[in-house]
Amino acid sequence: MLEISGLRKVFPNGVVALDGVDLSVPAGEIVGVIGRSGTGKSTLIRCVNRLEEPTAGTITLDGADITRMGGAELRATRRRIGMIFQQFNLLTSRTAAENVALPLEIAGVGRAERGRRAHELLELVGLGDRGGSYPSQLSGGQKQRVGIARALASEPSLLLSDEATSALDAETTTSVLDLLRRINAELGLTVLLITHEMDVVRAACDRVALLDAGRVVEEGPLGEVVARPGSRLASGLLPSLGRVEVGGHEHAEEVVLFEDAEERLAAAIADGARIEARSTERIGERRVTRALVVTPKEVAV
Ligand SMILES: Nc1ncnc2c1ncn2[C@@H]1O[C@H](COP(=O)(O)OP(=O)(O)OP(=O)(O)O)[C@@H](O)[C@H]1O
């Protein structure tokens, strides 16, 4: 469990990047932090492993406050926190297996054991046969898989993902996010992921927080936020189905319905409504149906 409380970061030039962030990342969940460019997402994630020094606030991982740690304790905690990056950050002069083995080398693990673990981790991310390849011989998606295997080498309990799919095309993004979900389920890994893309949140996260000007302005489980009227996260997660031209005696409305969608729409149709467009998808733990409904003015869905 990661618990961030009252986190502030003021840079020496006076920029307030984080202005009192409160955020809980429950153990074993994937939490997405979404926000526009410059809202403090990178700064937040960098404070968690102390690549950036917080100005105030606390960050506790399984009860221990990371902001107060130093020396050996901080180094040991950092080993429990893996990180993956937008640009993969692989060493170009090393093979995939050697990149994965790097954290183990730094931790003083012997050569044979490093090789065995690196191979195991590459198998886990679907690259069991590419250990001898150099980064230049791998696709973007494969490089990120190597990055994920490397992040898992020190058996972290928390994985930080900094726009890990932003440099990848849509199809590769889907497969990397599927991999993250799989390792989250198989290894019970907790994941804090930052992104500027709602599609990433929809595909990968259990919970989401909206960061705006250095503060969390809205957050919750995906299935809960989509049901909040007027929520910025809900409108981001549920893009509009489009517009329809209607006559003066008709009324067009986009409705969001949940588990009782079929009954509600059937009742509306029985009352004379027509459905111009609809889509149903699973968001978090809920089945969400959006429908563009045209009704005679006196009927409501
Ligand atoms: N080292 C630094 N010194 C001064 N200001 C900084 C520094 N790093 C970031 N900032 C500023 O802090 C604010 C938050 O930046 P941050 O990179 O955390 O945002 P972000 O949401 O990750 O944006 P992006 O998606 O563009 O990376 C911005 O105004 C940025 O210019």
CATH number at residue 56: 3.40.50.300
DSSP annotation of 53: -
CA of 73 to the centre of ligand 1 (A): 28
**pLDDT level of residue 250 (50, 70, 90 thresholds):** confident
Residue-level pLDDT at 296: 82
Task: Tell me, rounded to whole angstroms, the distance of Cα 22 from its chain centroid.
Answer: 17
Choosing from 185, 213, 233, the residue where a domain stops is 233
Q: Is 54 in the pocket of ligand 1 (CB under 6 A)?
A: no
Q: Of all protein residues, whose CA lies closest to atom 29 belonging to ligand 1?
A: 38
Q: How many domains does the chain have?
A: 2
Q: Is 103 in the pocket of ligand 1 (CB under 6 A)?
A: no
**pLDDT level of residue 49 (50, 70, 90 thresholds):** very high
ipTM for the predicted complex:
0.96
Residue-level pLDDT at 301: 61
CA of 214 to the centre of ligand 1 (A): 10
Residue-level pLDDT at 115: 96
Residues 146 and 202 in one domain: yes
Choosing from 209, 233, 257, the residue where a domain stops is 233
Residues 41 and 85 in one domain: yes
Residues 59 and 190 in one domain: yes
State percent of the chain over pLDDT 70.
Answer: 99
When pLDDT is averaged across residues 3-11 and rounded to a whole number, the result is 98
Containing structural domain, residue 266: 240-296
Residues 81 and 60 in one domain: yes
